[in-house]
Structures are given as C-alpha cells and as structure tokens.
C-alpha cells in the first residue's frame, strides 16, 4: 500500500513506510535536474533532490550543526540537499562526500579505442567525480551551469526560489593519493596530510599548509612539531577564540603529556614524528 507524504510530513511529521509524492519523482527532480545544471552530461538514475532532502530532514532538522557523511555520493545529491536545508533554517550543516572517479563501461571502451588508459588526463576527466559530482556541486552553489549560464527554473515545495540564486555555501575538493615512501620518510609530504588535519578540526576557516617555524596555528587548530617552542605555541593558542584541537608531533609520551597538561580544556591529538605514516595504508584491505 502506498502512503502519500504531505507538506506537513516534509517539514517534520511521522514518516511512512513507503513514500509516494510528486516531489520524489526521480525523473523530474533527479535526472532532469542534473541535466539542467550540467548540459550535455548524463548520470544514471540520480535520486530526486527533494526525496533526499526529506530523508535528511527526519534526522537533522533539529541539528543545525550536523555533519552528514555520504560514502557513495554519486552525482552529489546529498550535498545539494544539505544546502537547501541550511537555506531554510539558517543552519550550518556540513556534508562530506566520498566517491571514486570511475568511468562508465561504455565510455571506457571508447577511450581504450582511442589509445587512452586510466590515469591519463583525457580519461580521468570523464570519471564520475570530475565529470558530474564536482561540477554539480559548483553549479548548485554558484547558480550557474557547467557551461557558465544561469540555471533555468525554480526550486519547489518547502520553499521556492530561482535556482540561479545559488547558495551561500562553499566547498573544498580533495583527491586521495598514494605518496612515495621516500617522500613520507623524509618528511617531504606534509601537504598530503594537511587536509585531514583541517577536516578533523571541523573543516572551518584557514588551513595550515606548511610548518616553517616548527609550529603553526589556523582558525580552529594548531600544530606543534618542534617541542622546544612549546611555550610560544601554548601562549599563541590561548589567544585563538574558536580553537578546537592542538596536534602535537612527538614520539616521546612524557613530552606529549607535558604539553597537553598546559592545554587543559583543549582537545589534544598526538601525532608520531613519522606522522604521515599515521595515515598509511598497508594495501591489505
């Protein structure tokens, strides 16, 4: 038996077992919506934007600072829906999307006939992430299609406004890579771990890109590598209003505890001196 959702259930009510609503039509508000934002680009069976929005609302309506993790992000509908929820109530919810950059089987055959292979720039540009997910998120935020034109049409249902208005959001894109063991062992790959430290601290504000003076502080976190400069690091941390985490790089448990004791009330995270190996993959997964 099909149960119809109502405008009341879309803004908070008891969900039914089966939903049957015009707003959840994947053809009109999934496939057609993606094509409108990304002219000439197709994605198989994207979910309806408003269906995902309604699902998320059930869990995060009263959590304006929620973080939503989507490990199979596809075309990016989850991030798009989170933007709509934030616009409706002024929330600051965040979405973390994860996807591979897989090229469709049909496209692979064509690319191989042209002498291309995975890893080639001309191959990777047709992968789901580069071809659909990232462009769709950019389009949603900017209100512009992947071709740079204003997106035609209006958002509907809970609220209605031109899609070309976009959203007051921002996005950062990262690529997971394998680093050279030599680069890791010689402390030459800090950039590889820098985004992870920023994400762990809440993904807000400035990101620390380099450790030039033995320590560095951003808007929400700090990193201490040279423990001989711990006193100056601690004094500087105490002036940061929105600080969340202090990363302390050391193999010495005693010295770590000594610095951590000076930072009562602040979360501390210990990174070993060979700290890039904290994120090392053995390849046995």
Token couple for 164: 């070309």
Q: In what order do the strands lie in the sheet with 267-271?
A: 215-217, 221-224, 245-249, 267-271
d(CA 232, CA 234): 6
CA torsion angle 193 195 267 215 (round to 10):
70
How many Cβ atoms are within 10 Å of 242's Cβ, its own excluded? 12
Of the candidates 22, 202, 153, 168, the residue with the CA atom closest to the CA atom of residue 88: 168
DSSP label at residue 19: B
* 134-159 residue pLDDT tens: 999 999 999 999 999 999 999 999 99
* 53-88 residue pLDDT tens: 999 999 999 999 999 999 999 999 999 999 999 999
- Do β-strands 67-70 and 161-162 pair in parallel, antiparallel, or remain unpaired? unpaired
Quote the pLDDT of residue 2.
36
Cβ 137 vs Cβ 79: under 8 Å: yes
Radius of gyration of the chain (CA): 23
Buried b / exposed e across 182-213, counting CB within 10 Å, b at 16+? eebeeeebbebbbbebbbebbebeebbeebee
* 16-60 residue pLDDT tens: 788 888 999 999 999 999 999 999 998 899 999 999 999 999 999
Helix (H, G, I), strand (E, B) or coil at 138: helix
* 95-122 residue pLDDT tens: 999 999 999 888 899 999 999 999 899 9
**90 or 13: whose pLDDT is higher?**
90
Q: Is the pLDDT of residue 285 over 80?
A: no
Cβ 121 vs Cβ 148: under 8 Å: no
In the chain, alpha helices (H): 7-10, 26, 32-37, 49-60, 77-89, 105-113, 121-124, 128, 134-142, 181-185, 190-200, 230-237, 253-261
- Do β-strands 267-271 and 215-217 pair in parallel, antiparallel, or remain unpaired? unpaired
Q: Is the pLDDT of residue 280 over 90?
A: no
Cβ 21 vs Cβ 49: under 8 Å: no
d(CA 204, CA 192): 18
* 179-197 residue pLDDT tens: 776 666 655 667 778 888 9
Buried b / exposed e across 36-61, counting CB within 10 Å, b at 16+? ebbeebebeebbbbbbbbbbbbeebe
- Do β-strands 221-224 and 215-217 pair in parallel, antiparallel, or remain unpaired? antiparallel
């Amino acid at each position: 038996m099909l149960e119809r959702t109502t405008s009341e259930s879309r803004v908070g009510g008891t969900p039914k077992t089966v939903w049957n609503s015009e707003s959840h039509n994947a053809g009109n508000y999934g496939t057609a919506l993606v094509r409108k934002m990304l002219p000439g680009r197709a994605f198989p069976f994207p979910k309806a934007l408003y269906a995902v929005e309604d699902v998320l609302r059930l869990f995060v309506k009263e959590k304006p600072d929620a973080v939503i993790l989507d490990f199979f992000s596809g075309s990016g509908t989850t991030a798009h829906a989170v933007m709509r929820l934030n616009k409706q109530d002024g929330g600051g919810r965040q979405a973390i999307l994860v996807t591979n950059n897989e090229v469709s089987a049909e496209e692979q055959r064509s690319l191989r006939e042209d002498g291309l292979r995975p890893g080639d720039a001309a191959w990777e540009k047709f992968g789901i992430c580069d071809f659909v997910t990232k462009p769709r998120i950019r389009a949603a935020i900017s209100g512009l299609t992947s071709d740079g034109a204003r997106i035609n049409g209006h958002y509907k249902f809970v609220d209605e406004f031109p899609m070309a208005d976009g959203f007051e959001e921002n996005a950062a894109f990262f690529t997971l890579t394998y680093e050279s063991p030599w680069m890791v062992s010689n402390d030459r790959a800090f950039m590889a771990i820098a985004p992870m430290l920023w994400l762990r601290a809440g993904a807000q504000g400035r990101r620390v890109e380099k450790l030039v003076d033995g320590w560095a502080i951003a808007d929400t976190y700090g990193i201490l590598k040279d423990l001989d400069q711990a006193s100056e690091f601690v004094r500087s941390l105490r002036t940061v209003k929105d600080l969340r985490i202090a990363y302390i790089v050391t193999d010495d448990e005693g010295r770590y505890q000594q610095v951590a004791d000076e930072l009562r009330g602040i979360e501390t995270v210990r990174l070993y001196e060979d700290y890039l190996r904290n994120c090392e993959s053995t390849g046995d997964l």
